[in-house]
Amino acid sequence: MKQKQPERKSTNPKTRRNRQIVGIILLTTVLLFFGLVVFRFFYITVSGQVDGVNLAAKTRRIYTQETVLKAKRGTIYASNGDVIAEDSSVYTIFAVINHRNVDLKGKPLYVTNVDKTAQVLSQYLSLSADQIKNYLQPTSKKINQVEFGPAGKNIDLATKNKIADAKLPGIFFRAQPARLYPNGTFASHVIGIAQLKDPSKEETDQNGQLTGVMGIEKQFNAMLTGVNGRQQVQTDLYGYELPQSKVITKKAKDGDNMTLTIDSRLQNNLETLMQGVQDKYQPLGMNAILMNAKTGAILAASQRPTFDASTKKGMAAMWRDTLVEDAYEPGSVMKVLSMAAVVDSGHYNPNATYQSGAVTLDGSTIRDWNYSGWGTIPFNQVLPRSSNVGMVHLEELMGKATWQKYLNRFHMGEKTGISLPGEVSGSYQFKQAVDQANTSFGQAINVTAMQMMQAFSAVANGGKMMQPQIVSRVTNPNTGKTKKYRPHQVGTPITAATAANVLDQMRTVVNNKEIGTGMAYQIPGVDLAVKTGTAQIADPKGGGYLTGNNNYLFSVVGMAPASNPQYILYITMKQPQKMTAPAETILASIFKPLMTRVISYGKTGSAATTDTVSMPDVTNQSTAEAKAALANVGLNPAIIGSGTKVVQQLPRTGTKLLSGQRAVLLTNGAALMPNVTGWSKNDILKLAEITGIHVSFTGSGYAIAQSVAANSVITTASTVTVTLKPR
pLDDT tens digits along 591-641: 999 999 999 876 544 444 445 678 889 888 888 788 777 766 777 788 888
Q: Which amino acid is at 16?
A: R
CB 301 within 8 A of CB 274: no
Average pLDDT of the chain, as a whole number: 87
pLDDT value at residue 244: 64
pLDDT value at residue 711: 77
CB 366 within 8 A of CB 438: yes
Q: What is the largest CA-CA distance in the chain?
A: 171
pLDDT value at residue 204: 41
pLDDT tens-place string over residues 371-423:
999 999 999 999 999 999 999 999 999 999 999 999 999 999 999 999 999 99
Q: Has residue 709 got a pLDDT over 90? A: no
Angle at 309 between CA 304 and CA 313, to 5 degrees: 70
pLDDT value at residue 238: 54
pLDDT value at residue 215: 96
Q: Has residue 678 got a pLDDT over 50? A: yes
Q: Is the dihedral of CA 310, 312, 314, 319 positive or negative?
A: positive
Rounded CA gap, 511 and 560, in Å?
Answer: 14
DSSP 145-183: EEE-GGGGSSB-HHHHHHHHHT--TTEEEEEEEEEE-TT
User: Which residues make Cβ contacts (< 8 Å) with residue 79, sequence separation at least 6?
Assistant: 259, 260, 261, 262, 263, 264, 297, 299, 472, 608, 609, 610, 658
- Of 383 and 682, the one with more pLDDT: 383
Helix axes 496-511, 335-344, angle to 10 degrees: 140
pLDDT tens-place string over residues 128-160:
999 999 999 998 878 999 999 988 988 888 789
- Of 405 and 665, the one with more pLDDT: 405
Q: Indicate the pairing of strand 76-77 with strand 83-96.
A: antiparallel
Q: Has residue 323 got a pLDDT over 50? A: yes
Listed residue (547, 535, 357) closest to 446, CA to CA: 535
pLDDT value at residue 458: 98
Rounded CA gap, 648 and 669, in Å?
Answer: 12
Q: Which of 79, 332, 419, 555 is catalytic?
A: 332
Alpha-carbon Rg for the chain, nearest whole angstrom, is: 37
Q: Is the dihedral of CA 129, 133, 134, 135 positive or negative?
A: positive
CB 145 within 8 A of CB 171: no
614 among known catalytic residues: no
Most confident of 244-248, 517-521, 537-541, 677-681: 517-521
CB 271 within 8 A of CB 314: no
Rounded CA gap, 224 and 258, in Å?
Answer: 8
pLDDT tens-place string over residues 23-40:
888 888 888 878 777 776
3-state SS class at 475: strand
Peptide linkage before 283 cis (omega within 30 of 0)? no
Which residues, in sequence order, are bridge partners of residue 720?
A: 695
At 46, the pLDDT band (50, 70, 90 cuts) reads: low
Q: Which amino acid is at 608?
A: A
Listed residue (404, 402, 376) closest to 389, CA to CA: 376
User: Which residues make Cβ contacts (< 8 Å) with residue 260, sequence separation at least 6?
Assistant: 76, 77, 78, 79, 84, 216, 470, 471, 472
At 68, the pLDDT band (50, 70, 90 cuts) reads: confident
Please state which of the ranges 180-184, 202-206, 243-247, 365-369 shows the lowest mean pLDDT.
202-206
Task: Give the mean pLDDT of 440-466.
Answer: 97
Q: Which amino acid is at 635?
A: L
Q: How many CB atoms lie within 10 A of CB 58?
A: 12
**E strands of 619-713, at which residues?**
636-640, 646-650, 656-658, 662-667, 694-698, 702-706
Most confident of 173-182, 243-252, 610-619: 173-182
| Burial degree of 583 (CB within 10 A; 0-12, 13-18, 19+) | buried
CB 264 within 8 A of CB 80: yes
Task: Please state, in angstroms and as integers, the Cα–Cα distance from residue 320 to each residue in 213, 248, 316, 323, 539, following that order.
Answer: 11, 45, 10, 9, 21
Please state which of the ranges 127-136, 191-200, 458-467, 638-647 shows the lowest mean pLDDT.
191-200
**E strands of 19-116, at which residues?**
49-50, 53-54, 64-69, 76-77, 83-96
Q: Has residue 285 got a pLDDT over 90? A: yes
Q: How many helices (H) and strands (E) does the chain have?
A: 20, 35
Q: Indicate the pairing of strand 636-640 with strand 662-667.
A: parallel
Count how many Cα atoms sit within 13 Å of the Cα of residue 570 in the half-sphere of its side chain: 27
CB 355 within 8 A of CB 379: no
pLDDT value at residue 727: 60
Please give the share of the chain, as a percent, with pLDDT higher than 70.
Answer: 89
Task: Give the mean pLDDT of 640-649.
Answer: 84
User: Which residues make Cβ contacts (< 8 Å) with residue 155, sequence separation at least 6?
Assistant: 90, 91, 92, 93, 124, 163, 173
Q: Has residue 116 got a pLDDT over 80? A: yes
Peptide linkage before 561 cis (omega within 30 of 0)? yes
3-state SS class at 230: strand
Q: What is the DSSP letter of 209?
A: P
What are the two backbone dihedrals, phi and then psi, of residue 377, each rounded to the nearest 5 degrees? -135, 160
Rounded CA gap, 702 and 707, in Å?
Answer: 15
CB 623 within 8 A of CB 586: no
pLDDT value at residue 214: 95
CB 35 within 8 A of CB 43: no
Rounded CA gap, 445 and 277, in Å?
Answer: 27
Most confident of 160-174, 201-215, 445-459, 694-708: 445-459
CB 446 within 8 A of CB 407: no
